[in-house]
Amino acid sequence: MINALIIICAYLIGSIPSALWIGKIFYKTDIRQQGSGNLGTTNTFRVLGKKPGIAVLLIDILKGTAAVLLPLLPFFADSTVHPLFLGVIAAAGHMFPIFASFRGGKAVATSGGVILGYNLPLFLILIIVFVIALKLTKMVSLSSMIVSAVAVIYVIVHWMLTGEYALLILVVVLAGFIFYRHRENIKRIKAGTEPKIKGF
């Protein structure tokens, strides 16, 4: 029973549609109807601006971190569910949120939050890679996929050195999520029509 509850909690945390709620409450705007229609950080920046974009980014990162840390709560002390599995569930909740008709974002920030909660050094490496990739490509989508690929390489090497397979499985699954959710972006990148950010 406790395992079922902690999984449900991880999903509900991931399902919090921060971009939708911030847009509707503070800006009277449903960002699903504007820009790319995506409930994520990038579309929030485009539609609502810098401050709400940063707020959404932080909340979405913390969703992943919160899910991973759920087993630390006394109520869930007897849970046998691996924290990284809870992170995957939270990412799935972000992509298919029950609070937003199962139409969510691409889980990049939430996946980052999962890694933040479990492996801080990897998280810091990925932040650096993302910033460099974004500086060079000016494309958030491509930078996100580059970061995913780097994360996979890191965990493969980490697994070979330590034998820890849980992090390997998690990152491969999350990278799969991210590439799948970016399939339309991949088409636009190939066609040379993917939007680029300005001023970075």
Residue-wise DSSP of 58-71? HHHHHHHHHHHHGG
Q: What is the pLDDT of residue 197?
A: 83
| Rounded CA separation 5/19 (Å) | 26
Q: Model's pTM, two decimal places? A: 0.91
Q: What is the pLDDT of residue 36?
A: 83
Q: What is the pLDDT of residue 7?
A: 97
Q: What is the pLDDT of residue 37?
A: 84
Q: Who's near 109: CB < 8 A, 6+ residues apart?
A: 40, 41, 56, 57, 60, 61, 64
Average pLDDT across each block of 10 residues of the chain; the chain has 200 residues. List them in order.
97 97 94 88 90 95 97 95 96 96 92 95 95 94 95 96 92 94 94 83
